Amino acid sequence: MKLKISNLSKSYDDKEVLKDINFTFEKGKIYGLLGRNGAGKTTFFNALNEDIEIERGKFILEESKNRKLTNQDIGYVTATPIVPEFLTAREFLQFYLEINKNRIKNLKNLDYYFDLVKIAKKDQDILLKEYSHGMKNKIQMLVNIIINPKIILLDEPLTALDIVAQEEIKKMFQALKDNHIIIFSTHILELAIDLCDEIVVLNNKNLELISKENLNTKKYKDKIIAALKEDSDA
């Protein structure tokens, strides 16, 4: 499975953010999307998820039969988690499973899903408004994973998690990648190198794949930083 992006362009008033992006993402890989603040990473995700209008561009899902990408194909974990704070985690998850039962394959019980993201029993019946940012992000990740989308977009998902929780979630996404296309946006270079199979820089309004030569060496990091600096100097 591949996601092929053709001629994606997006502007806000007279400011061009994305320009004629042509790129192909492949199943079985976690892509680290790097870019300076304001480079357009969230705009790129919102365009894929049909949350914003674009000037031009096509998104094609290449499988046994090619077709247009829809937001039903996408699980999107936003940087600021949006959850119904008036419900407990258990109430919300039960409601979510009920309304999506026709979309969920191999439906499991609630305990299975809570264990998946390591939410302790003592926290399962607490109102979501009492959850920390990181805990809300876990819930948001969980509901996006449950429906088993073909593409998972992760917008700074680990920033608010402690080190132990980060390692747990990283292992979970490593286990998921074989059957998905995962695009992981972050501003933390070391995290991207540690977790991701490919590094993609949003540079000068376009996507640039950074060769994996000398992965995890200073030379490799310098190449990424140079690409990011080029964008700020443009």
Q: What is the pLDDT of residues 167-219, one digit of tens each?
A: 888 888 888 899 999 999 988 888 888 889 999 999 889 999 987 665 566 77
Give the sign of the dihedral formed by CA 67, CA 207, CA 42, CA 131: positive
Q: Is 114 helix (H, G, I), strand (E, B) or coil?
A: helix
Average pLDDT, the chain: 88
Above 60 in pLDDT, residue 234? no
Q: Is residue 131 part of a domain?
A: no
Q: Is residue 225 part of a domain?
A: yes
Q: Is residue 102 part of a domain?
A: no
Q: Is residue 15 part of a domain?
A: yes
Number of structural domains the chain divides into: 1
Window from 1-10, 144-153, 165-174 with minimum mean pLDDT: 165-174
Q: Is residue 43 part of a domain?
A: yes
* Token pair belonging to 163: 């080190």
pTM score: 0.88
pLDDT in tens, 204-216: 899 999 876 655 6
Q: Is residue 136 part of a domain?
A: no
Q: Which residue has the higher pLDDT, 51 or 225?
A: 51
Above 70 in pLDDT, residue 141? yes
pLDDT of res. 145: 87
pLDDT of res. 217: 66
**Bridge partners (DSSP) listed for residue 58:** 6
**Which of the four pLDDT bands, split at 50, 70 and 90, describes residue 71?**
confident
Share of the chain above pLDDT 70, in %: 95
Q: What is the mean pLDDT of residues 62-66?
A: 90
pLDDT of res. 231: 59
Q: Which residue has the higher pLDDT, 56 or 231?
A: 56
Q: Is residue 68 part of a domain?
A: yes
Window from 37-41, 49-53, 87-91, 97-101 with minimum mean pLDDT: 37-41
pLDDT in tens, 90-115: 999 999 999 998 888 888 999 999 99
CATH number of the domain within which 195 lies: 3.40.50.300
Q: Is residue 104 part of a domain?
A: no
* Token pair belonging to 24: 């192909």
**Which of the four pLDDT bands, split at 50, 70 and 90, describes residue 232?**
low
Residue 153 belongs to domain spanning: 2-82+149-233
pLDDT of res. 31: 95
pLDDT of res. 214: 57
Q: Which residue has the higher pLDDT, 139 or 35?
A: 139
**Which of the four pLDDT bands, split at 50, 70 and 90, describes residue 51?**
very high
Strands (E), 124-225: 151-155, 181-185, 198-203, 206-210
Contact (Cβ atoms closer than 8 angstroms) between residue 76 and residue 45: yes
Number of neighbours of residue 164 by Cβ within 10 angstroms: 9
pLDDT of res. 39: 83
CA angle 158, 159, 163 (to 5 degrees): 70
